[in-house]
Amino acid sequence: MPTPDAPELPGTLDAEAFVGRPRETLRGALGEDEPDTLGAPGEVLLMGTLGVGGMAVVRLGRQSSLDREVAVKTLRADKTSEASRKRLLREAWITGLLEHPNVVPIHDLRLDAQGAPQILLKRIDGEPWSSLLAEPERLARRVGAQDPLSWNVRVLIALCNAVDFAHSRGILHRDIKPDNVMIGAFGEVTLLDWGIAARLVPDPQGGPPAMPPDGKAAGTPAYMAPEMLYGHAQTARTDVYLLGAVLHELLTGHPPHQGSSLSALVESIVTPTPPPPDTPPTLARLCVQALSIDPGRRPESAAAFRARLERFLDRRSGEQLVEAARVQLDAFRDALRDGAPELETAERFSSARFGFAQALAAWPDDAAARAGLDACLQLAAEWALGRGDLQVARYHLQQVHTPDPALARRVEEAVLADAERTRALQELAYQSDARVGWRDRNGIGYVLLFTALGFSLWLALRPEPPSYLAFAATSVAILAVLGAGLLWWGRGLLATRYNRHLVASIAFIPLAQTVVDLGAWLRGWPPVQSHGVVLVVAACGWFFMALSIQWRILGLSVVWGMLWLIASMKPALTYVLQGVGVTVSIVWMARVWPKPEE
């Protein structure tokens, strides 16, 4: 057997026939056991020509005895040699042995008036498969095929049935090609032209001849197996090669062997050409294996070849789903790249994911569907990550079988960072939540206000004017009450920044008043003049409390400011006005301070 690197040119090749007519069958040589006898001529009326081959012509005829149309195969006028006669008889003999729905039936074998052999075949109303392959647009009109590849694969499966049956009878066809396949008016598939068919082994009881051991090339150059080129031993895997050659033509639009010179065509035969990259993977693998130069690497039989075609058809709907989903995946990728509207992008993603998921639901082990779904989900995870939808990104990534480590790391880092931000925001919300410690806060607030009211009344009702010592005692008492409250309610009051600001604002008023009183005493001001300033201090305290804690108490700042203005005009009313301010504060706080449900 030659190798692709060193193809050997058989010395018996006719270069003109081999290169000039690569789709025409080379008949090879005859064996010694060829049939050479026939019965008497019959009544057949010959009409128009149906087709002309390399050796014979097929005419339309009418068999008068049964009044039916038949196809009559006879030798061409220029092919009337004894060798041609024996070849035609061999074809009739072999075809007559093969009663199968996909093999043309022989009605009779006889001599015409001139003593030439005639084969009466069933007349098939149809056209060669090759004509449909040459004009794919006619396929939909002719047979209504919406998926041409699937339809053609079904035709090839029918051929496998015929070839498998022939092999079971020990017969090799050796010339399987679309030109030798007839598609009937109702889609019937018939394998024709068994002219170079032969038995795998001799039949001791006679019958069709075995393979002639002449070493001459036989077959159709555009399709033939390497062992046919050199006349080497041929087996059932030789016909499997021819089935693979037909599959190659279905996938590429041309036979597997091409060349403008004898050496180029021979090299093409011993150097298989793989199908294009866009070929369905299942068929591509089958085609490459069937066209292997080593027969041992081909599928073991036509039945095995057929089984793989049937598996392809079983998976074809899944592959079509995957193909449609890939289109949507590309559209999804384009939408992300072009910054398409979010709704449009989401629709593209949903369509792609649905298609891949449907394919996997039907065929869970479909690698192409799994790879497509993983790519789609990872792209969606990238998209969600860019939008900040981190849980969505993590969800998509969790469905990927083998996620990209870099993307998974980015998502997890973003999720952790987001969790930290969320924790910080929750802490901030807690620290600013007025509901935390509200009972403790209200309790100490009212105690302080009533304490302040009591001291205000004490200062207003004293028979003698208050001294700086009395003022100091008032401030100390209020601070003491505040301190006691912190000891009692400290856990709730100091747990949050909101409450700490409130405590600081409350403590500001007596502390500020103490500083004012100390300054006034050092300046020698009368106590009543100093104490009037407490109204301004209270106004400031409520103002800062409103800004930092609760805007609803801003009105108290206004009230205390107005009381300061009145006290400035009527100093004698200072202590009374202070009591009025404290009373208004108690009522105001009771009315406007927010409840927990607010």
Helix (H) and strand (E) counts for the chain?
20, 10
Q: Which residue type does 262 have?
A: L
Tell me how far apart the alpha carbons of residues 249 and 236 are, in angstroms, rounded to a whole number: 20
- For residue 539, the tally of other CB atoms under 10 A from its CB is 21
Query: Quick one: 372 exposed, middle or buried, by C-beta within 10 A (0-12, 13-18, 19+)?
Result: buried
Q: Which residues lie below 8 Å from residue 80, measured CB to CB, with a gap of 6+?
A: 116
Go through 190-206 and write b for each residue having 16 or more CB atoms within 10 A of its CB, e for each that does not: bbbbbbbbbbbeeeeee
44-52 and 56-63: which strand pairing?
Answer: antiparallel
Tell me how far apart the alpha carbons of residues 121 and 238 are, in angstroms, rounded to a whole number: 27
Nearest C-alpha neighbor of 384 from the set 397, 374, 371, 372: 397
List, in sequence order, the alpha helices (H) in 98-147: 129-134, 136-143
Query: CA-CA distances (angstroms) from residue 60 to 65, 126, 178?
Result: 16, 13, 21
Nearest C-alpha neighbor of 589 from the set 479, 438, 437: 438
C-alpha 194: how far from its chain's center? 47
- Phi-psi region at 206: left, alpha or beta (left = phi > 0; alpha = psi -120 to 50): left
> Would you please indicate which residues are annotated as catalytic (active-site) residues?
175
Tell me how far apart the alpha carbons of residues 201 and 204 are, in angstroms, rounded to a whole number: 9
- Phi-psi region at 52: left, alpha or beta (left = phi > 0; alpha = psi -120 to 50): beta
